[in-house]
Amino acid sequence: MNTIKRIVISRTDSIGDVALTLPLAGILKEQYPEIKVIFLGQGYTEPIIRCCAYVDEIWKWDEIEKNPNKTEWLKEQKVDAFIHVFPRKEIAKWVKKAKVKNRIGTSHRLFHFLTCNKRVNFTRKNSDLHEAQLNTKLLLPIVGYSAELSLDKLYELAGFSSPKPTDNPVYDLLNKEKIDVILHAKSQGSAIEWGVESFIELAKALPANQFNIFFTGTEKEGKLFRERIPSGNHIHDLTGKMTLSELITFICKADALVAASTGPLHIAGLLDKLTVGLFAPQKPIHPGRWRPLGNKVEILEAKKIASPTQPLNISVRDVVQRVEKLTS
C-alpha cells in the first residue's frame, strides 16, 4: 500500500449516486492519511464533491473526454490506482491505455476483464446491502478487507458540509419564526415520484402559522407545475432560482426536506437536516438500497409495488404526520 500515493474514485453518474460514494474518500483517508484522493465525476456534480472534506482534487469527465491527448494527460498525473465505482467502458479503456498500475472494477462487467487487473466479485442487483455499503467492496484490493460498515459510520465518513453562502436573495425568504420545509417534487427521472399534486396537497395541509414552504427544482421542472403552486405568503416557488451549490446551502439553512429518491434528498440527509424520503418498495429501488445517509432520515414506503407511470401510493396524511412528528 505504501506505493499508492494518488488514487482516483470514478463515479460519473448522478448526484445521489455521487453522494453515496463520498464515504470511500473518508475510508481511504482514515486508513492512509497521506494518500491523495481524486474524484472523477461529471461537471454538474462538482458542487456535491466539493462538500466532501476528504477529496483532495476533482476531475470533470465531461471536460476530460474532449481532450484529444487525454491518455498522455492521465499518464502525467502519476495515478497509482483507479477505482471504477460506476463502470463505463470508455473510461475503463482510457485508464488501461494510460497504464495505471492498479485498475479496480467489479468482475460482473465483461469489459472489466479486458481493462481491469483487480476485479472484485460482487453483484449489486440482488444484494440486501445499501448502495454505500456496496461501494466499499471496491476498496478490497486497496485496504485488504471488505468491512460492511454501518450506515451511521458511512455518514460520518462522507465528511459533508455546506459551501459558503452566495448573495442570492432566496436566503432572505427563510423564517426563523417558522419551520422552513423544502418540497422537491420532481426527480429528473431518477426515481418513481410521489406526484406534483400530492406535493401541492401537502403544501396546503401543513399549517401556515407553523410552516414556511419552498418548492425547489430546475427551471424546466418549474415550468411543469409552478402555475399550480398554491398562493400564500408562506409558500414560495424557488424552481430555477438556484445553482446546485446554492441549493446545497439553502437546504443547510432550512429545517426539513421532503422528496422521492433523488439528489436533494441525499444532500439533506448528509447535512443532518430533517429528511423525509418517499420510496417504492421493490428491489433494486427500495429504501434498503437507496435511503439517504444521515441521523435524521425518515422513510415512507409505498404500500404496493410502484410503477414508473403511476405516483407512489403514499397518503398525504401520512407525510403530514411524519413531517409534524419530525419537527415537533
Going from N- to C-terminal start, the domains of the chain cover 6-157, 169-327
Q: Which fold has domain 6-157?
A: Rossmann fold (3.40.50)
Task: Phi first, then psi: give them for residue 168, nearest 5 degrees.
Answer: -60, 125
Query: In tens digits, what is the pLDDT along the chain, a chain of 328 residues?
Result: 558 999 999 999 999 999 999 999 999 999 999 999 999 999 999 999 999 999 999 999 999 999 999 999 999 999 999 999 999 999 999 999 999 999 999 998 999 999 999 999 988 887 889 999 999 999 999 988 666 899 999 999 999 999 988 889 999 999 999 999 999 999 988 899 999 999 999 999 999 999 999 999 999 999 999 999 999 999 999 999 999 999 999 999 999 999 999 999 999 999 999 999 999 999 999 999 999 999 999 999 998 898 888 999 999 999 999 998 878 7
- The pLDDT assigned to 2 comes to 55
- The pLDDT assigned to 309 comes to 87
- The pLDDT assigned to 100 comes to 98
Yes or no: say if 63 and 34 are a contact pair by the CB < 8 Å rule. no
Q: How far is CA 105 from CA 12, 52, 121, 154, in A?
A: 14, 23, 9, 21
Same fold, 6-157 and 169-327: yes
Q: How far is CA 326 from CA 92, 105, 315, in A?
A: 44, 40, 17
Yes or no: say if 199 and 215 are a contact pair by the CB < 8 Å rule. yes
pTM, two decimal places: 0.96
Amino acid in the structure at residue 253: K
Q: Which fold has domain 169-327?
A: Rossmann fold (3.40.50)
- The pLDDT assigned to 226 comes to 95
Nearest-angstrom CA–CA distance, 305 and 223: 29
213: left (phi over 0), alpha (psi -120 to 50) or beta: beta
- The pLDDT assigned to 33 comes to 95
Give me the residue label for grid cell 434498503.
Answer: 288
